[in-house]
Amino acid sequence: MKFRRAADISRPVTPPRRLGGGLALLCACVLLAGCGSVAPSAVAGRLQVVAAENFWGSIAAQLGGAHVHVRSIITNPDTDPHDYEPTPEDARAVAGAQMVIVNGIGYDEWAQHVLSASEASTRSVLDVGKLLRLKVGADPHQWYSPDSVQRVIGAISAEYERLDPRYRSYFEGQERHFETVDLARYHALVGQIRSSFAGTPVGYSESIFTPLGEYLHLRLMTPYSYAKAVSEGTEVSASDQQAVEAQARAGEIKVWVYNSQNATPSVQRINAIASAAHIPIVTITETLAPASDTFEQWQVLELERLIGALRTTSGR
């Protein structure tokens, strides 16, 4: 289903009241360096798109095909998207882009600062949080929500058609192929888990799994305050730590899911307890891993791991 809301694609964001000294200097340098330069789109002959993170960038590239060039800023699996420090190259790319895709919801505030430092009246900005009408404080990991992914697909495709209407039919074909062919295995696994394993009690280390776990109708046993603390890098409370450990020891969870890109001592301790209790452990990651994978390759591999673990623990 296509999602068409012109109001969800915004123009440059309002500049924040204050920038950190390093970022402010970076943006000032980029503005000076960009004066008089030729826009990348004029050189390449394709729509120039910048995505703050590669999970959205992968989708954008596949929807754009031969008529869009997409550059993702966060590509290294070892990079923490929350506190990334943009480079002059990143800022120059944003300054020359016709479309920028950011996650929003407080996840990539650095991208908002870079956008504010290089205002352009013709540049469109797709803020996923605004598209989904989610405010700061909501779970920002919406690329793990199949419903949210579907809405982002529609919004990106619609904006490509608006920016370059010459290729409207081409972009419509790319969207159709992506949804029905490229994402076919993804949708099949999601449907299979929902129909066969709904209600299975599952533990998880980080809130990145919450949107997917809820969509799959799994019973998420871990206190959300624990998963949120691990995700945000804040201290886990003693009561939450004890509760999660107790669930694993008692076998109250049938599968343990953890983010291998953020295996804190707290998470490693629960990994060990789950392993000793013979509870299947499934790894997920926050960004594409490996970075060369497409969005669907990455997600399918994780869903296959999950369904394998659910089958093991259920005997089905």
The phi, psi pair for 140, rounded to 5°, reads: -80, -10
Which pLDDT does position 44 carry in this prediction? 58
Is 56 inside a domain boundary? yes
Could you tell me which of 299, 311, 227, 313 has the C-alpha nearest to residue 270? 227
Q: Are 280 and 306 found together in one domain?
A: yes
Amino acid at position 216, single letter: L
**pLDDT per position as a tens digit, 22-50:** 444 454 444 433 433 334 444 458 999 99
181, 201, 228 — which closes off a domain? Answer: 181
Neighbours of 109 (CB within 10 A): 15
Same domain, 254 and 297: yes
By the 10 Å C-beta count (0-12 exposed, 13-18 middle, 19+ buried), 120 is classed as: middle
Domain co-membership, 22 together with 84: yes
Domain boundary among 154, 181, 208: 181
181, 209, 231 — which closes off a domain? 181
Domain co-membership, 46 together with 123: yes
254 lies in the same domain as 163: no
Task: Spell out the per-residue pLDDT of the chain, length 316, in tens.
Answer: 333 333 345 443 333 333 344 444 454 444 433 433 334 444 458 999 999 999 999 999 999 999 999 999 999 888 888 789 999 999 999 999 999 999 999 999 999 999 988 877 789 999 999 999 998 889 999 999 999 999 999 999 999 999 999 999 999 999 999 999 999 999 999 999 999 999 999 999 999 999 999 999 999 999 999 999 999 889 999 999 999 999 999 999 999 999 999 999 999 999 999 999 999 999 999 999 999 999 999 999 999 999 999 999 877 7
Q: What are phi and psi of 124, to 5 degrees?
A: -100, 150
Containing domain of residue 174, as a range? 6-181
SS3 69: strand
* Closest alpha carbon to 107 in 145, 78, 136, 77: 136
Of 173, 59, 200, which is closest to residue 126 (Cα–Cα)? 59
Residue 74 lies in a domain: yes
| Same domain (yes/no): 160, 111 | yes
120 with 190, same domain: the answer is no
Instruction: Tell me which DSSP letter residue 92 carries.
Output: H
Is residue 50 helix, strand or coil? strand
Q: Could you tell me if 27 and 182 are in contact, meaning their C-beta atoms sit under 8 angstroms apart? A: no
From CA 274, how far away is CA 276, in angstroms rounded?
5
| 281 bridge partner residues | 256
**How far is CA 261 from each of CA 52, 205, 257, 288, 299, rounded to the nearest angstrom?**
18, 11, 12, 11, 15
Side-chain half-sphere exposure of 283, counting CA atoms within 13 A: 11
- CA distance from start to end of the chain: 33
Give the pLDDT score at 206: 95
Domain of 229, CATH number, reads 3.40.50.1980
Measured on CA atoms in the order 185, 132, 231, 13, is the torsion positive or negative? positive
Q: What is the pLDDT of residue 78?
A: 83
CA distance 153 to 220: 27
Report the pLDDT value the prediction gives residue 35, as an integer from 0 to 100.
38
**One domain, residues 171 and 198:** no
Tokens representing 42 are 């004029």
Q: What is the pTM of this model?
A: 0.86
What is the number of structural domains in the chain? Answer: 2
Whether the ω angle into residue 280 lies within 30 degrees of 0, i.e. cis, is no
